[in-house]
Structure 1
Amino acid sequence: MTDKKLILILKTCIATGIFLILLGIYLHSYNDTIETLGVRGIMISAACVAFGMALSLPTKMYLTFLLVTREAEHHD
């Protein structure tokens, strides 16, 4: 797999993670249907945030490491 494909996949994971985090916040704060579900609604919105964090944060750290090493190789 080339670096460009890997970077595209990682950026897609970050975007998906951020989308899931925002979806969880929206469901928890602004959606009345989730409120009527009670504990299940809280679990749904929390799961969206948790999966979003799991996708975005480690991917962001790896992508930053990959880009820094790539930039260092180009300067040498």
Structure 2
Amino acid sequence: MTDKKLIFILKICITTGICLILLGIYLHNYNETIEAMGVKGIMISAVCVAFGMVLSLPTKMYLTFLLVTREAEHHD
């Protein structure tokens, strides 16, 4: 897999993760149906935020590592 393709896939993962985090926040704060569900509704919004963090945070660290490595190779 080429670096450009890998970086593109990682950017998609970051975007998906951020969207899931925002969806979880929206469900928790602004959706009356989730509020009416009680604990199950809180769990649904928490799962959205958790999966969003799982997708976005490690991907950001790996993407940063790739970009720093590429920049170091470019300067050499």
Q: Shorter-normalised TM-score: what interval?
A: over 0.9
Q: Cα distance, 1:63 vs. partner?
A: 0.2
One-letter amino acid of the structure 1 residue matched with residue 47 of structure 2: A
Counterpart check, 1:52 vs 2:49:
no
- Partner of residue 19, structure 2: 19
Deviations 1:27-51 (A, max 9, x none): 0000001011111100000000000
TM-score, scaled to structure 2: 0.98
Give the distance between the partners of 2:69 and 2:35, measured in 1 at CA: 46
For structure 1, the residue ranges without an aligned partner over 5 or more in a row are none
Give the distance between the partners of 2:14 and 2:50, measured in 1 at CA: 13
- How many matched pairs? 76
Which SS does the other structure have where 1:50 is aligned? helix
Q: Percent of aligned pairs with the same residue?
A: 86
TM-score, scaled to structure 1: 0.98
- Partner of residue 67, structure 2: 67
CA RMSD of aligned residues (A): 0.4
